[in-house]
Amino acid sequence: MNILILGGNGGIGRAIVDECLNRYPEATIHATFRLAQPEEVHNVVWYQVDVTQELEMEALSQRIPKVDWIVNCIGLLHNEQHGPEKNVSAISSDFFQQNIMTNTLPTLLLAKHFTPKLKLSASPKLATISAKVGSISDNRLGGWYSYRASKAALNMALKTLSIEWQRSVKNGVVLALHPGTTDTHLSKPFQARVPEGKLFTSQRVANDLLDIIENSSPENSGKFFAYNGEELSW
């Protein structure tokens, strides 16, 4: 089996790399990082990729001859200049576009450049980590415009891809996954108000999300699942 993990140096992504090594010792794990290459690990091939650049994604697809599962763990919530917006006056066009470029576009680029390779697999799966705050029907608190909008757009992209795959990719599964609040760089500034017992380790989340991916079948394609297996509404 060949598994490609995007953002293999991130909090959840790294834990997914490690859990794949643990569960599938025969598999080849292809994993991406952006800046600093993680240490060499047997059975892991590292690639440096900025996932917002289509040429780099295309080049990545040319370097990986076969792939069965793709797990996209890339994400952006805040950067040095901007945090999630408290109200609409905080909108910055640059930050909004960066959210779309990081949280939405890469999944479509993956689908474009890897679908021909996934078609060669007997059980092809493409899972992207989304976020429950991207659910329109679940939005009760408001705020976080750019992140919410980019994850809602990601969800629509995944749903739309699942419909295309029904016709074109035999046994294909497309999944949107919510990890729950996980103790990583991304959630660090927002952990103070997380209720007790609701801040998960990346190891736990990797385990939960891989259970969902492993047990998914084409009937689950185009759905949005939380870490505990609950199906979330769009």
Provide the binding-site residues for ligand NAP, judged by CB under 6 A.
7, 9-13, 33-35, 49-52, 73-76, 102, 129, 131, 179, 181-182, 184-187
**d(C-alpha 169, C-alpha 164), whole Å:** 8
What is the number of the residue whose Cβ is closest to ligand NAP?
75
Q: Which is nearer to ligand NAP, 9 or 216 (CB)?
A: 9
Least distance to ligand NAP from the beta carbon of 185, Å? 4
Alpha helices for 124-169 (secondary structure H): 145-168
Q: Which is nearer to ligand NAP, 139 or 171 (CB)?
A: 139
Residues forming a β-bridge with 45? 30
Residues forming a β-bridge with 129? 177
Least distance to ligand NAP from the beta carbon of 119, Å? 25
Least distance to ligand NAP from the beta carbon of 8, Å? 7
Least distance to ligand NAP from the beta carbon of 172, Å? 21
Q: Which is nearer to ligand NAP, 126 or 169 (CB)?
A: 126
Which residues 6+ apart lie within 8 Å of 168 measured at CB?
Answer: 115, 119
Least distance to ligand NAP from the beta carbon of 179, Å? 5
Task: Please choose, from the candidates 106, 214, 209, 230, the residue with its C-alpha nearest in 3D space to the C-alpha of residue 161.
Answer: 106
Q: Which is nearer to ligand NAP, 121 or 182 (CB)?
A: 182
Q: Which is nearer to ligand NAP, 34 or 119 (CB)?
A: 34
Strand ranges across the sheet with 223-226: 44-48, 28-33, 2-6, 69-72, 125-129, 173-178, 223-226
Residue 30 main-chain phi, psi, to 5 deg: -105, 125
